Chain A
Amino acid sequence: MTTLSGIIFIIGKAFLLALAAPFVSGIIRKTKNCMRMRRGQGLFQFYFDIRKLFSKDEVISKNVSWIFFAAPAVVFTASVLALLMILMVQPGSFTSDGMAILIAVFFVFGLARFFLALAGLDAGSSFGGMGSSREMFISSFAEPAIFITAFVLCVSGGNSFKVSNLLALFSVSMAVIAETSRIPVDNKETHLELTMIHEAMVLEYSGRSLALIELASHIKQIVFFTILSWYIFTPQVPGIYAWAIFPAKIAAISIIVAFVEISLAKMRLFRAVDFLSFSFFIALVASIAASLGL
């Protein structure tokens, strides 16, 4: 993995995945629209949105400090870093190195979240503060489940027919829904003051900064979907089979997420705690099952 060709290979894959990231969000939105019997926007709409944002002027609050300008760069870089790191992991055969990288990925997302939350407070608007507070709240409750399921994944190696793996898959899906700001925890489509979480935090952003943040959130989503995909039929040896099956898995996950979004209502903020504690307890059960070798 340390050879030059290996590094170039990883960077190439990361580039492809980053390029595909808005498309995954497009699939989710398209699926939702289809189910709502709407025509909706095309699959590539997010690319157009980002291009449009990059060419727009920015409006910046008078109260902000350098944190506000640094945050989009940090968030974007951290997401790309997480994507690179996730590709260094060999799913199916976890070594201690792989495990260490997987944990570090969550920390890198922590870095992005920290700066975004600070930027939310920087403009001095109540919305930003509300968003920051809620984002930190939700994510800190999602964290335990994510860490425990990562351990289960390493023990079970993504063998789908193990009880522990299935439970972990269930648990981590709930946590991933929270992390990627999806219904029932958060809703990306709304800008209603009282319900938004992620969107409230980035309310003051416009133009290219917003474009970077949006791109980063697409990339974060694909990273979490990739982690989720490791729980489902992970081949022990990577090969052409993995190449073919991986996009299919990501597409399947997106469609399932769309189904979940369409069939549930957004929860009250404090119900999200119950949601995430449920995910945590499932993760605990999964870990017990894993230690029993099930």
Chain B
Amino acid sequence: MFSIFPKQLFLVDPLAVFFLIVIGLVCVPSAIFSIGYMKEESRRKKAIGWSLLVIFALSMCLVVTAGNLFSFLVFWEIMSLASYFLVVSDFKHEKSVSAGTIYLIMTHAGTACIMAAFFMLYNYAGSFDYNALKEAITRLPANFINIIFLLLFIGFATKAGVVPFHIWLPYAHPQAPSHISSIMSGVMIKIAIYGMIRFFITILGPGPAWWGAFILTFGIISCLVGVIYALMEHDLKKLLAYHSVENIGIILLGVGTAMFFWPLGIAPVAALGICAGLYHLVNHALFKGLLFLCSGSVYKATGLRDIEKMGGLIKVMPATALFFLIGAMGISALPPLNGFVSEWITFQAFFAGIMQAQGGAKFFMILSTAALALTGGLAAACFVKAFGISFLAMPRSARAKEAKEAGFSMKAGMVIMSGCVIMFGIGAGFIIPPIMNISRGVIGADSVRGSFYMVSVLPPLIAGVLIVSGAALFLWFKFGMRTKQVSYNTWDCGYYRTDSRNEYTATAFSKPFRIAFSFFLLPYRKTEKIRDSFYHVRKFTYETHTTMIFKNYFYEPLARLVYSAAFKMRKLQPGSIHLYIFYIFITLAGLLAFASLF
């Protein structure tokens, strides 16, 4: 009856195909980009990098097409390990190694939870196959399903970077080479979302409504915490990594809405929720991939990741600047690009939920709406900062001044992705029907009609009006007016000259947000004055930091606990073989007793 060898090796349903497309959409341009990005590396490093990249991409494809728990787990692990080696590919830097270690620990803690859940499932179903599991679920006691749900949630949330399991993301993503960050942030964390949809909805679902509420709560927390941290961050790649936390939150809002409404018997809203979540998922893959590639292009040209030292890059790297702007507009949900469409559908799902739900469910939807609205505003602010400080105005350092535009293959990778960002926005009418089909397959009901007519009509309309009106204004200004344009210094209040040191900095830009969220960020500052005399300060340094509460108050104490426990455990291992044989004996006796008792 119990068979280790699964009958169902692969499962290629619309949901899996959707994820395969997402993987392809990000991996191919990133691979093209990497040709230029890795040009100067040694032959050996290139060979290792490429083979790991292929293994990484392939393992992700296999995870989403796996048809049973066993192969899912194997490919999941290959994916984690391949990405770990890619993160530490710059292994001479201590930072890379420690980032890799944090990643490895977190991802394995998550995998352990997934494994535990899988064994519990196997124990009841007697098979690893998804189909067999689905039948066995009805026989499972409710408590067990809830425990399985929680374990799987911790496992997948760790991979996806949901707050409070996001701790590895801002370390690992920036340390990897940019095309790898693009794949990790664009696709790999989405594989965890695949796991959630596959297990929570198609296999375990419909679970109780509190699962949905649980996911929604984590979604709300993730999107707010992610964006607030992103606002404080001035390392371009870390900033993008925190935005991944935020966007995973937004995706979870869609998925959570589905899980919330399905058991309540309001399946159309649930289908719309899945639709919103999946659409935002592919959109985030596209614009986040694109933004990471752009940050890689900037890093390649300047060697900088700190936006405070950039500035004026739009003049020396016009193409990269344009691509970054497209990505930034996408992620800030500006019409007519893709982020706008998916956030818009998410709002519509909330609205449909508010209209059709009763009591508390309604209030939950309203809170989600508020969280998403606030997140949207803060994300836009963050990307005004990221783009404005790093690409506009005057260069703040010599390196930024002497930057050179990226090469052909790097540009090609970015062009493909920015094209997709635009197409997935304007062509929403063509993207929605297939995603609707998937959500129908997942939930088993048609989605509420929503306002898909508007979704397919409005973005091209907005794009059309913008282009026509922009062209008309341009022609009118160029040829239809007699007024002149005079070039002069920026207004400087009558001082004789302003330079890049007078510019507004990223720290200053985010100051209002730092103060408004000070209850959460707990900012502190260090100032140091070096004086020649009482009256004359020769040097003044000012630093401002925020407290990472999850790291300082949860992970660090936990790590200390583990260390001190490990030191105490050391006494058990004095190196005497007799003692070890004694341990083996004790264990054996214990196991025998356990087996005979239970």
Chain A residues with CB under 8 Å of chain B are 54-63, 65-67, 70, 72-74, 76-78, 80-81, 84-85, 96-97, 99-101, 103-104, 107-108, 110-111, 113-114, 117-118, 120-130, 132-134, 136-137, 139-144, 146-148, 151, 154-155, 193, 203-204, 207-208, 212, 269-270, 273, 280, 283-284, 287-288, 291
The answer for the CA separation of A32 and B335 in the assembled complex, in Å, is 36
> Among the interface residues A62, A110, A288, which one has the most CB atoms of the partner chain B within 10 A?
A110
Instruction: Point out the residues of chain B lying under 8 angstroms from A80, CB to CB.
Output: 465, 469
Instruction: Point out the residues of chain B lying under 8 angstroms from A74, CB to CB.
Output: 466, 470
Instruction: Point out the residues of chain A lying under 8 angstroms from B374, CB to CB.
Output: 140-141, 143-144
20 sample A-B contacts, Cβ–Cβ < 8 Å, listed by A number: A55-B483, A56-B483, A77-B469, A77-B470, A78-B466, A81-B465, A81-B466, A107-B335, A107-B343, A122-B392, A124-B392, A125-B498, A129-B508, A140-B374, A140-B380, A147-B347, A148-B366, A151-B366, A208-B477, A288-B363
Are A126 and B366 also in contact (CB < 8 A) when A100-B348, A107-B333 are?
A: no
Q: A78's closest neighbor in chain B, by CB?
A: B466
Min CB gap B477→A, angstroms: 7
Interface string of B461-476 (1 = CB under 8 A from A): 0100110011001100
Residues 282-337 of B contacting A (Cβ, < 8 Å): 311-312, 314-315, 321, 325, 329, 332-335
Instruction: Point out the residues of chain B lying under 8 angstroms from A111, CB to CB.
Output: 329, 334-335
Contact check, A126 vs B503: say whether CB atoms are below 8 A apart: yes
> Among the interface residues B355, B359, B373, B376, which one has the most CB atoms of the partner chain A within 10 A?
B373
Contact check, B516 vs A270: say whether CB atoms are below 8 A apart: yes
Are A155 and B488 also in contact (CB < 8 A) when A56-B483, A110-B376, A118-B387 are?
A: no
Contact check, A137 vs B381: say whether CB atoms are below 8 A apart: yes
Cβ of B511 under 8 Å from chain A = yes
Contact check, B369 vs A62: say whether CB atoms are below 8 A apart: no
Instruction: Point out the residues of chain A lying under 8 angstroms from B325, CB to CB.
Output: 67
State the 10 A-B residue pairs at the shortest beta-carbon distance, nearest first.
A129-B504, A140-B377, A121-B388, A124-B393, A136-B381, A100-B451, A147-B373, A144-B370, A143-B377, A77-B469
Q: B467's closest neighbor in chain A, by CB?
A: A77
Beyond the given A74-B470, A103-B347, A124-B500, please list 20 additional residue pairs across the A-B interface where CB-CB is below 8 A.
Answer: A57-B486, A60-B486, A65-B321, A65-B391, A77-B466, A97-B451, A99-B348, A101-B454, A110-B376, A111-B334, A114-B384, A118-B387, A124-B311, A124-B502, A136-B380, A143-B374, A143-B377, A193-B493, A204-B491, A284-B366
Contact check, A148 vs B490: say whether CB atoms are below 8 A apart: no
Min CB gap A168→B, angstroms: 12
Contact check, B377 vs A141: say whether CB atoms are below 8 A apart: yes
Contact check, A103 vs B348: say whether CB atoms are below 8 A apart: yes
Cβ of B151 under 8 Å from chain A = no
The answer for the CA separation of A77 and B389 in the assembled complex, in Å, is 25
Q: B336's closest neighbor in chain A, by CB?
A: A111
- From B312, B334, B503, A114 is in contact (CB under 8 Å) with B334
Instruction: Point out the residues of chain B lying under 8 angstroms from A133, CB to CB.
Output: 381, 385, 504, 508-512
Contact check, B509 vs A129: say whether CB atoms are below 8 A apart: yes
The answer for the CA separation of A270 and B388 in the assembled complex, in Å, is 23
Contact check, A76 vs B473: say whether CB atoms are below 8 A apart: yes
Contact check, B490 vs A125: say whether CB atoms are below 8 A apart: yes
Min CB gap A109→B, angstroms: 10
The answer for the CA separation of A108 and B490 in the assembled complex, in Å, is 29
The answer for the CA separation of A207 and B449 in the assembled complex, in Å, is 47
Are A117 and B384 also in contact (CB < 8 A) when A67-B392, A73-B470, A108-B335 are?
A: yes
Min CB gap A216→B, angstroms: 12
Chain B residues with CB under 8 Å of chain A are 311-312, 314-315, 321, 325, 329, 332-335, 340, 343-344, 347-348, 351-352, 354-355, 359, 362-363, 366, 369-374, 376-378, 380-381, 383-385, 387-389, 391-394, 448-451, 453-455, 458, 462, 465-466, 469-470, 473-474, 477, 481, 483-493, 498, 500, 502-505, 508-513, 515-516
Contact check, B483 vs A57: say whether CB atoms are below 8 A apart: yes
The answer for the CA separation of A103 and B384 in the assembled complex, in Å, is 21
Min CB gap B495→A, angstroms: 11
Are A122 and B477 also in contact (CB < 8 A) when A60-B485, A147-B370 are?
A: no
Contact check, B470 vs A104: say whether CB atoms are below 8 A apart: no
Contact check, A139 vs B502: say whether CB atoms are below 8 A apart: no
Contact check, A148 vs B370: say whether CB atoms are below 8 A apart: yes
- From A58, A78, A97, A132, B454 is in contact (CB under 8 Å) with A97
The answer for the CA separation of A157 and B388 in the assembled complex, in Å, is 41
Contact check, A126 vs B504: say whether CB atoms are below 8 A apart: yes
The answer for the CA separation of A142 and B378 in the assembled complex, in Å, is 11
The answer for the CA separation of A204 and B394 in the assembled complex, in Å, is 15
The answer for the CA separation of A284 and B329 in the assembled complex, in Å, is 29
Q: A80's closest neighbor in chain B, by CB?
A: B469
Contact check, B369 vs A148: say whether CB atoms are below 8 A apart: yes
The answer for the CA separation of A120 and B504 in the assembled complex, in Å, is 10
The answer for the CA separation of A55 and B483 in the assembled complex, in Å, is 6
The answer for the CA separation of A67 and B391 in the assembled complex, in Å, is 10
The answer for the CA separation of A143 and B484 in the assembled complex, in Å, is 39
Instruction: Point out the residues of chain A lying under 8 angstroms from B335, CB to CB.
Output: 104, 107-108, 110-111
Q: A280's closest neighbor in chain B, by CB?
A: B370
Contact check, A96 vs B490: say whether CB atoms are below 8 A apart: no
Contact check, A100 vs B490: say whether CB atoms are below 8 A apart: no
Instruction: Point out the residues of chain A lying under 8 angstroms from B378, CB to CB.
Output: 140
Instruction: Point out the residues of chain A lying under 8 angstroms from B511, CB to CB.
Output: 133
